[in-house]
Amino acid sequence: MTTTSIAGSLPGIALVSHCLANQNAKVGEYAVFPGVSPVIGLLRQRGFIIQQMPCPEMSLLGSNRWWQTREQYDTPGYRRHCRALANSVVDVLEARLAEGPRDVVLLGVDGSPSSGVTLTGSASDPNLPWGGRPGSVPSHLVPGKGVWIAELEAVIAERGLALPRLLGIQMELPGYSVEGSLAELDAFLATGEAPSEQA
C-alpha cells in the first residue's frame, strides 16, 4: 500500500458522500457497483482517513424514493434535515482535526440533486416543474451544488472550520469510466497540502 501524505503531516481526511461506500443508498437505477465504489480503494491506497457521511435522501425518504430534481429538494424542511446531518458530520470531523491540521477533501457525486458539487439535476423546462403524479418529465444537468453539499459547506463554515477541497465524482454522468474517474480523483488528492492551521 502506498501513501502520498505529506511528510511530517497527518494523513488527509476524505468526507465521502454516503453512496460512494454504499451503492444500496442510490435512488433506483443509479447503482453502478454492488456495494463499495472504487473511490474508497483509492482513498485507502493514498492513506486518507475515510469519513462516510449519512445520505440525506435515504435517511429522509428511504430506499424506495422517487427520482427528484434539485428544485424539489430545495425546501426549508429538507435543508433543516441536511443541517442536522451536517452537524453530526462536523462533530466527527472536529474530533479528527483536534489531532492537528490536515488536508480535508469532500467528495460529492456530480449530477445528484443533493450531493452534486459542480453539476446538479434540474427540470428542463421551468414551466414544467417536477411534482404531482410521477411520470416521465424531462430533466437535465445544470451548474451548481446540490442541496446537501451547500448546507454542509454552510455548517462547516459556521462551526469555524476551513472549507474542504471539493470534487464531484462523475459516476452519474454520461461517459463515466472507472479509470478516468479514478485518474481525476488521484490527481485531485495529490494537489492537497495540510493547512498550517484551521480557520
Partner 1 sequence: MRSWPRVKRRVNKPDVRSRLVVLVPDHLVNPAAVATSRPAGLGDASSRILDVLIELGFGLIQLPPATLAAAKVARAIDYALDQLEDYAANGYRTLWLASGATEADTNLGIRLRDECVRRRFTVLEVIEIRMAAPADAVRLDSLLRAVAREPRPAPAARNW
3-class SS string, 16-75: ECHHHCCHHHCCCCCCCCCCCCHHHHHHHHCCCEEEECCCHHHHHHCCCCCCCCHHHHCC
Beta carbon of residue 22, minimum distance to partner 1 (angstroms, whole number): 3
Between residues 76 and 134, which has the closer beta carbon with respect to partner 1? Answer: 134
Instruction: Count the residues of the shown chain that bind partner 1, applying the rule CB under 8 A.
Output: 60
Is residue 188 a contact residue for partner 1 (CB under 8 A)? no
Between residues 126 and 134, which has the closer beta carbon with respect to partner 1? Answer: 134
Residue among 169, 60, 164, 160 nearest 108 (CA): 169
Query: Which stretch, 72-80, 157-165, 170-178, 182-190, contacts partner 1 (CB under 8 A)?
Result: 170-178
Is residue 68 a contact residue for partner 1 (CB under 8 A)? no
Is residue 121 a contact residue for partner 1 (CB under 8 A)? yes
Footprint (CB under 8 A) of partner 1, residues 132-161? 134, 139-143
Beta carbon of residue 92, minimum distance to partner 1 (angstroms, whole number): 5
Alpha-carbon distance of 42 to 15, in angstroms, equals: 14
SS3 182: helix
Grid cell listed for 68: 427528484
- The residue written with cell numbers 445544470 in the block is 142
Choose, by CB under 8 A, the member of 6, 9, 42, 50 that binds partner 1: 50
Is residue 23 a contact residue for partner 1 (CB under 8 A)? yes
Angle, vertex CA 135, rays to CA 131 and CA 138, nearest 5: 80
Alpha-carbon distance of 187 to 196, in angstroms, equals: 22
Choose, by CB under 8 A, the member of 4, 9, 51, 198 that binds partner 1: 51
- The residue written with cell numbers 459547506 in the block is 153
Where along the sequence are the contacts to partner 1 (CB under 8 A)? Answer: 11, 18, 21-26, 28-36, 40-41, 44, 47, 49-52, 54-55, 58-59, 62-64, 66-67, 85, 87-88, 91-92, 95-96, 98-99, 111, 118-119, 121, 124, 134, 139-143, 171-176
